[in-house]
Structure 1
């Protein structure tokens, strides 16, 4: 990626310019058997639509806080970069009562109702399916709403790379700090350049999990095989996955 990239959104733009067809996020949910692979271009399309939803559908403004009550998941990765694109603060597992908006998944819907702003629910079902017959009370269904938004995103206001962008495990980072730390982490994670492929079983509730599961691969030109519920997978199955996915490094 370019040394001039100041935010996660910048990192994605550079990745898109360099090689839009390469894989960026391959997601496994070992509780459901789901596997989803997103190229840089497909991931960027989801980010653009979600950014437009944030800016226009939720009326989120730079500096506002979005509580992301979500696990390590490909859709969570989309929301993280979308927040960076708009300039809002992505608060991983944050207090909904102190947030301007909330995005929640199963197990967090009741807690999310403490937020007085816009609330969106993700089913986290395979292929990002909508809720049937309807989303939880008090929430809009992300899967229903996001397809209606445009594939190109332009922020109404320029994003300040030095402004707060991410809160995780009680620590706050600016967009510039996220990009810089991600570049610094890459070599230690085994992300030594384009083509490197990291398998991560870490959760998204720590910087280490976010760096391995999204930011490091994005900053280095690599990709991530993001595994949810990996604790139930046997060593033989894991070894086959490492081989079939051409994994070059692993963190668990």
Structure 2
């Protein structure tokens, strides 16, 4: 059943009230062979911990801009929803110099240094592993997040008309209600219904990539098989994955 929630955090809350044990994100990295499956409950727990890190240790306030320099990855999805939950303006692929906070993968650390505010680095290693040597000037996400609380309550509730998402090339930020509405529209356009399994490879720095990789499946009570480095997977192996994961739709 498609969620009628007015905010992205509401979409996740509806999913948690429905069937929290069902898969939400199945992640593959075809450069490392990693496979990770997150249920709605497990994803929600990561989102809560990350939102607590944002609001607490990092001091993020509603309206602050959060640049995400991250690839298609399950941890990227976590950061997107955590940002929405805390009321910051999430900027996938955004300019770190134009942000109060930045979250970077290991390949974009130099670009991320343009942010004068808080900087967080993700090693993007299997099982959410930490950096062998933490990068100077960055908090290591894998070190900081485990101790955060498992429940998140924003200091200021995120209103439907609050700006929460700014994508590259777009002058104005989408509101929380705008994101939820577009997620439902994308789910319908993709033909997603309850139980659908969508295989997606694009990065989250366009609406289509963000919708396919997270928001549309979340809105439609569906799930996503999220693939990084999908171009390294032979066509025959892709067909086998689609069969093994019971994929119903592909982007």
Instruction: Give the TM-score normalised by structure 2.
Output: 0.97
CA distance in 2, matches of 1:160, 1:218: 19
Give the conservation status (yes or no) of the 8 Å contact 2:197–2:225. Answer: yes
Matched with 1:148 is: 147
Partner of 1:180: 181
* Kept in 1: contact 2:64–2:100 (CA 8 A): yes
Q: Is the 8 A contact 1:197 1:225 kept in 2?
A: yes
Cα distance in 2 for partners of 1:212, 1:124 equals 20
- Equivalence for 1:86: 86
Match of 1:39 in 2: 39
User: Quick one: distance in 2 between partners of 1:176 and 1:250?
Assistant: 26
**1:167, CA displacement in angstroms?**
1.2
SS in 2 for 1:38: strand
Whole-Å separation in 2 of the counterparts to 1:209 and 1:53 = 25
8 Å Cα contact 1:62-1:87 kept in structure 2: yes
2:166 counterpart residue number: 167
Inter-partner Cα distance in structure 2 for 1:158 and 1:210: 23
Partner Cα distance (2:201, 2:96) in 1? 26
Q: CA–CA distance in 1 between the matches of 2:146 and 2:104? A: 18
Moved more, 162-171 or 145-154: 162-171
Deviations 1:159-194 (A, max 9, x none): 122121111122231111111011011122131x21
Cα offsets for 1:141-171 (capped at 9, x unmatched): 0000000100000010111221211111222
Equivalences, count: 248
- Structure 2 CA distance, aligned partners of 1:244 and 1:2? 27
Aligned equivalent of 2:105: 105
2:207 match: 207
SS in 2 for 1:157: coil
Q: Secondary structure at the match of 1:21?
A: coil
Cα deviation digits, residues 211-245 of structure 1 (max 9, x gap): 10000000000000001111111111001000000
Q: 2:22: which partner in 1?
A: 22
What's the offset of the Cα at 1:48?
0.3
Structure 2: runs of 5+ lacking an equivalent: none
What is residue 190 of structure 1 aligned with on the other side?
Answer: 191
CA contact (8 A) 1:190 1:248 kept: no
Equivalent residue number for residue 228 of structure 1? 228
TM-aligned CA deviation for residue 8 of structure 1: 1.0
Match of 2:219 in 1: 219
Is contact 1:130–1:144 with CA below 8 Å preserved after alignment?
yes
Q: Once superposed, which parts of structure 1, at least 4 consecutive aligned residues long, lie more than 6 Å away?
A: none
